[in-house]
Structure 1
C-alpha cells in the first residue's frame, strides 16, 4: 500500500479537525441573548424584493402585521421584480387592509446581473429610516423581530447585525431531499454562528439581516459584487468587514426567521448551485480556508472510496476519516438542531452524512462549469 494518499488524507483530516473545533469554540463563545427589553428608539425600513411569490406572500404578510413595534417607527417596502403572477395584486390588497401600516409598492430598476441587489438598492434609495432590514418573500418573521434589532443597536451601536434563519420543520412523509436540505441548512447556520463567535464572520443570510443605511453607502453597497447574481448578504458582510464596521450576530430564539424549503429536487439543486457560484468571490482568508477544507474533506472521502476498490487496505484509513467527519459534524449540527428546535430532523443525519460528500463535491465542481436558474431566469457561469 502506497502511504502518500494516507499522508494526504491525514493532512486534510487535521485541517478539518481544526476548522470544526474552531467553529464549535465560536458557537460556545457567542452567548445567547436574553429576552429583549428596549425603548423602541430605532426606525427601520423593511425591504422585501419579490418575484412570483403569490403562494408565500400571505404568510409573510400575516407575520408582518403582527410585529410588536410602534407603527410610526417602521415602514415596509415591497419591490416587485417583474412578477408574472398575482403577487402585485396581493401586495395592493395588503396595503388596503392595513392602512395603519406604512407600506410601499415599488418596481425594480435593473442595473446589473443581480435583480435582487438592484431591488434592494431601489428600496434603500426610497427608504426614510436610518436602519435597513431585509427578508425574503417566502419568510415569516417573529413578532419581536424589530425590537430585537433595536435592543442590539441601542446596546452595541452595531453597523450590521445578522440573525438566525431556519427552514420549516420536515415531516416523516416528506421526501428525503427535503430532510437532507434541512440538515445541510442547519450546518450552514451553525457555521455562521460559529464564525461570528470566532470574530471571523464570513457568511450570513439576507432573510434576517439589518444594517445602517449610511454605512451601506460609505462602503459602496453592492458595487463590486454586481457580477454575481446572488450574494447580496455575503458580499455586503465582506464589505463591512473590509471597512472595519461593527458587525454582530443576534443569537436568540426570539429572532429566528422561518423560510420555506425548496419545493422539489430540481429547485434544491439549482439553489445550491447558486450558493456555490458566489463562493468564487470570497476574498476573506478564513472563508477560503473553510471552503477549501470542506471541499477537500468531501473529495478525499470519495477518492478514498475509489482507492479501496483497488486496494482494500485503504479501507481502515477511509473509515477513520469518515468517523472523524461524522462525529465533528454531528456535534456542530446538533447544537443548531437544539437551538432551532429541530432535533427530530437529526434522525436523517446518518443517511445524510453518507450522501453529503458526493453531493457537496458534485455541486462544487458543477458550479465551476455551468450556470443556474433562479426565479425563472437563467444565469451563466
Structure 2
C-alpha cells in the first residue's frame, strides 16, 4: 500500500504539471487570434529541394507556379536524383520563366545530407526573402506566398508556418500521423508565443537570406545529416526575430505516409536531431514527454489495483478535459478537428511509438534524408 500511496501522489504531481503546462504554455496558442498582417511588397524565392520526387513534382508544382503573387521565383534543387526528377524540373522551367534549376551532383563528403544542396539553392536564389516547402507538399491556397510573406518585417526574420498532412478516410494511421503533426505544431507555436522558439518544419518555413548567411548557414551542424529546418531554427531563432503564421491561407499539405514502417522511418530522422537542440529546450521537451508517459503508466497501475479509484478517475478526467479544451481550440485553428474524438487513444499510441523510436535511435542512427 505504501508503494501505491507514492504512485498516487506522484500521479497528482504529474497531472498538476500537465494541467499547468497546457493552460499556461499551450494555452497561449490555443486562445490566440490570427493576426492579419498587411501584404508586403517584397520579392520572394520559393525553394524546393527534391530527391527522386518526379511524381510529386508533377502533381504539386502547379500549385506553386499558380500562386497569386506579383513577383516570386521558384528555385528547384535536384539532389542527385536517380529518377526523372531533373526532367520534370526542366519541363516546368521551359514553361515558366520564373523557375530556376540547381542541379546538384553527388558529393561523397555530403552524401545523404540535404543541407548541402539546400545551401547551393539558397546561394542561387536572387531574392532576399526565402520560403521553403517540400516536393510532396502543396499550398492549400493561391495566397500561400502572400500569407507567409506578409509576416516579414524589420524585426521578424523567421516565419514559422503549419504543414499539414493529407487526410485518408477510415485510416487510423492517418489520424495518428495528423495528430502527431498537430501536437508538434501546438508545441512549436506555443513556445514561440511565449518567446522560446525552438523549431520549425521545412514543409512550411520562411526566413531572410541575410539571417541564413549571418549564421554561417548550416556550418554549425553540417555534419548532422538531418535538421536543415528544426535544428537551424533552434540555432538562430529568438523571441525578437521569430513570429508564427497560422492563417488558413498559409497552410501547406503534404502526402501522408500510408504504412507505419515508412512513417516511423521518417520520424526517426526527425527525432534524431532533437539531441542537438539547446540544452534548455531538450530538458523541457524531455519533461513534457516523460510526464505524458508517466501519466498513462500511473493511471493504468492505480486503476488496475483500484487504488482510490474514484479520485484517480476524477483526476484523470480533469486532465483530459483541460487537454480536450486546449487541443480542441488549437485543432480548430489548424483545421484538424476530426482527430479530437480519438484523442486519448491517439495519445497512447503516439507515446508508445515515440518510445519505440527513441530506443531504436539509441541502437542505430538514421543515415540520410532520403
Give the alignment's TM-score, normalised by structure 1: 0.86
Structure-2 change in CA distance of 1:368 and 1:315 (3 Å): farther
Which residue in 2 is equivalent to 1:253? 248
In structure 2, the CA distance between the partners of 1:241 and 1:260, relative to structure 1 (3 Å rule), is same
Determine whether 1:44 maps to 2:44.
Answer: yes
Deviation by residue 1:245-284 (Cα, 9 ceiling, x = unmatched):
6111112111111111113111111122222221111215
Supply the distance in 1 between the matched residues of 2:85 and 2:45 (Cα, whole angstroms): 20
Residue matched to 2:67: 67
Q: Give the whole-Å Cα distance in 2 for the aligned partners of 1:256 and 1:185.
A: 13
Q: Is the 8 A contact 2:268 2:361 kept in 1?
A: yes
Deviation, 1:288, is 2.5
TM-score by length of 2: 0.88
Gaps of 5+ in 1: 377-381
Q: 1:324 to 1:272 in 2, by over 3 A?
A: farther
Structure-2 separation of matches of 1:287 and 1:280: 7
Q: Secondary structure at the match of 2:149?
A: helix
Structure 1 pair 4–164 and aligned structure 2 pair: CA distance change class (3 A): same
2:195 equivalent to 1:199: yes
The secondary structure found in structure 2 opposite 1:207 is coil
Query: How far is the alpha carbon of 1:14 from its aligned partner?
Result: 2.5
Could you say which residue in structure 2 is the equivalent of 1:379? none
Q: Which residue of 1 aligns with 2:265?
A: 270
CA separation of 1:299/1:87 partners in 2, compared to 1, >3 Å: closer, same or farther?
Answer: farther
Q: Which moved more, 1:281-290 or 1:46-55?
A: 281-290
Count of matched residue pairs: 366
Q: Does the alignment pair 1:352 with 2:346? A: yes
- Aligned with 1:135: secondary structure? strand
Aligned to 2:205: 209
Aligned with residue 22 of structure 1, among 17, 24, 30: 24
Q: Please give the residue correspondences for 1:1-381 in structure 2 after superposition, counting only pairs within 5 Å.
A: 1=1, 2=3, 3-28=5-30, 30-34=32-36, 37-40=38-41, 42-70=42-70, 73-98=71-96, 100-107=97-104, 110=107, 111-112=109-110, 115-141=113-139, 142-154=141-153, 157-172=155-170, 174=171, 176-241=172-237, 246-302=241-297, 305=300, 311-313=305-307, 319=313, 322-372=316-366, 376=370
Give me the whole-angstrom Cα distance separating, in 2, the residues matched to 1:326 and 1:123.
45
Cα gap change, 1:30 to 1:217, in 2 (>3 Å): farther
Question: In the alignment, is the contact (CA less than 8 A) between 2:275 and 2:282 conserved in 1?
Answer: no
Partners in 1 of 2:110 and 2:316 — Cα distance?
A: 43
Verify the 8 A CA contact 1:183 1:345 in the aligned structure 2. Answer: yes
Q: Is there any run of 5+ residues in structure 2 with no aligned partner, and where?
A: none
Q: CA deviation at 1:63?
A: 0.6
Shift of 1:138: 0.5
Q: CA deviation at 1:30?
A: 4.1
Moved more, 260-269 or 288-297: 288-297
Report SS of the residue matched to 1:134. strand
Q: Structure 2 vs 1, CA of residues 300 and 347 (structure 1 numbering), >3 Å: closer, same or farther?
A: closer
Offset, 1:373: 6.3
Residue 29 of structure 1: CA displacement? 6.0
Change (3 A) 1:9 1:366: farther
Cα offsets for 1:58-82 (capped at 9, x unmatched): 2321111111112xx3221111122
